[in-house]
Amino acid sequence: MDGTIITIKDLNVAYQDKPALWHINLDIRKNSRTAIVGPNGAGKSTMIKTMMKLIRPVSGSIEIDGRTDKGVLKNIAYVPQKGEVNWDFPATVLDVVLMGRYVHKGWVKRTQKKDRDIALEALKTMKMEAFCDRQISELSGGQRQRAFLARAIAQDADIYVMDEPLQGIDITTENLIMDVIRKLQAEGKTFIVVHHQLNTVKEYFDHVVIMNKTIIADGPTDAVFTGDNIEKAYREKGVGV
């Protein structure tokens, strides 16, 4: 089980002329639950978006599962921040979850019964099966997040990348999401989660990356998530700002 699933080497990212990430060197352990923490503007979202090839770095390399080509992205289920999606879009919860199956279908193939079964099973895991015909515009924040995670489960990827999945949701959903994450980890999946509540890091994650434009510390939560490191990340201004 052990080993590295994502290797980032000397990564630099800039928005126009402003540096966003500096000299990032990072190994993410296979089958871990890794939290990414840091103050606002620390480049957490930028880093995972660069991993997903949504942002082109100035320099550096990212290896996922030993590969650098685009095809490897299909093995990553990305759960975006809630605000990144057009919620007025005419679609049902099931429609959204079925989108996760697209990755396995390619071009023009329509979804089949097997895909529907997988999607419904994913909804059941997220306790959303009763909402499968519900319009996404009618969902609460927690339900939306569950629908997104159901889509990720339906995608059946080995790596889950999530951008603040616990932001602004109810405690029931938060507990459910963490239960599902633990269960999927037991099945061999890896989780990389941008996280903003410092008080739950130790309980929810076994590995942590503390960053502010550059990596302050990374490793097993027990060893790395110390007051010193946190203070460093949250007190100091990021490099180059």
- Binding mask 91-110 toward other proteins (x if CB under 8 A, else -) reads xx--xx--x--xx-x-xx-x
Radius of gyration of the chain (CA): 18
Q: Does 78 bind other proteins (CB under 8 A)?
A: yes
15 binds other proteins (CB under 8 A): no
- Specify the amino acid at residue 142: G
Query: Is 84 near other proteins (CB under 8 A)?
Result: yes
66-74, 190-198, 200-208, 210-218 -> range binding other proteins (CB under 8 A): 66-74
Contact between 70 and other proteins (CB under 8 A)? yes
DSSP structure string for 194-223: E---GGGHHHH-SEEEEEESEEEEEEEHHH
The one segment of 4-12, 68-76, 204-212, 229-237 that binds other proteins by CB under 8 A: 68-76
Q: How far is CA 21 from CA 9, 60, 193, 240, in A?
A: 12, 11, 18, 9
3-state helix, strand, coil in the chain (%, to 5): 40, 25, 30
Contact between 73 and other proteins by CB under 8 A: the answer reads: yes
71 binds other proteins (CB under 8 A): yes
Q: What angle do CA 189, 93, 191 make, to 5 degrees?
A: 15
Tell which positions 203-232 bind other proteins, by CB under 8 A: none
Q: Which of residues 134-193 bind other proteins (CB under 8 A)?
A: 135, 137, 151
- The SS3 assignment for 217 reads strand
- Using rule CB under 8 A, residue 89 touches other proteins: yes
| Residue from 172, 174, 126 nearest 150 by CA | 126
- Tracing tokens 């320099």 back to the chain, one arrives at 59
List contacts with other proteins (CB under 8 A): 49, 52-54, 70-71, 73-74, 76, 78, 80, 84-86, 88-92, 95-96, 99, 102-103, 105, 107-108, 110, 135, 137, 151
